[in-house]
Amino acid sequence: MTIPDSGGGIIRMDVMEAIKKRRSIRNFKDLDVEQVKLEKMLEAGRLAPSASNRQEWRYVIVRDKQTRKKLAQAASGQTFVAQSPVVIVCCAETDEHVMSCGQECYPIDLAISIDHMTLAAVELGLGTCWIGAFNENEVKEILNIPGIIRVVNLLPVGYPAYESSPVSRKGLKEIIHYEKW
């Protein structure tokens, strides 16, 4: 499938190929991420669906090396966070709306948006890694994020230093139930 991008060019996107190639990257080349590629990732996240079209996601883009080092410390000392040329700090400006099924919207909606970005990153030759191990209050302090905003995820972005092997996944027969459990 081909789709036009906001810059007037064309992107060839095979979603299943991107899904199969996506890996958690924890080692990045010492190369900057081009702004146009970062914006394509962010656009993919912006276009994600959300409950009641709330679009609660908010992102802080961090390129500054010293700030990335501080974020790495707030992320349990995970040094690859500082090594990545960009960290997208994935936040939610939320009213804490709960869907009728009992789940809060913002973590689910933000996860969908982030996943759109990770798949776009693969298509653009970039790597990412979902980081959930961090101290939210420290991240807020480092980035001057208001108290009412939730920090849900850190997403280091960069060019993978190596091509990683696929990880094993359970087969469909192990995870699917038809009609009833």
pLDDT on residue 51: 93
20-161 homologous superfamily = NADH Oxidase (3.40.109.10)
pLDDT on residue 166: 81
Which residues of the chain fall short of a pLDDT of 50? 1-3
Q: What is the pTM of this model?
A: 0.90
Size (the chain), residues: 181
133, 153 Cβ separation under 8 angstroms: no
Domain ranges of the chain: 20-161
58 vs 55: CA distance, rounded Å:
9
113 vs 115: CA distance, rounded Å:
5
Sign of CA dihedral 94, 131, 89, 159: negative
- Residue 125 CB coordination number (10 Å): 10
pLDDT on residue 9: 59
Sorted by sequence, the CB contacts under 8 Å of residue 169 that are 6+ apart come out as none
Question: Interhelix angle for 136-143 vs 65-74, to 10°?
Answer: 160
Among 31, 42, 35, CA closest to 84? 31
pLDDT on residue 3: 47
How is 116-160 classified by DSSP, letter by letter?
A: HHHHHHHHTT-EE--B--S-HHHHHHHHT--TTSEEEEEEEEE-B
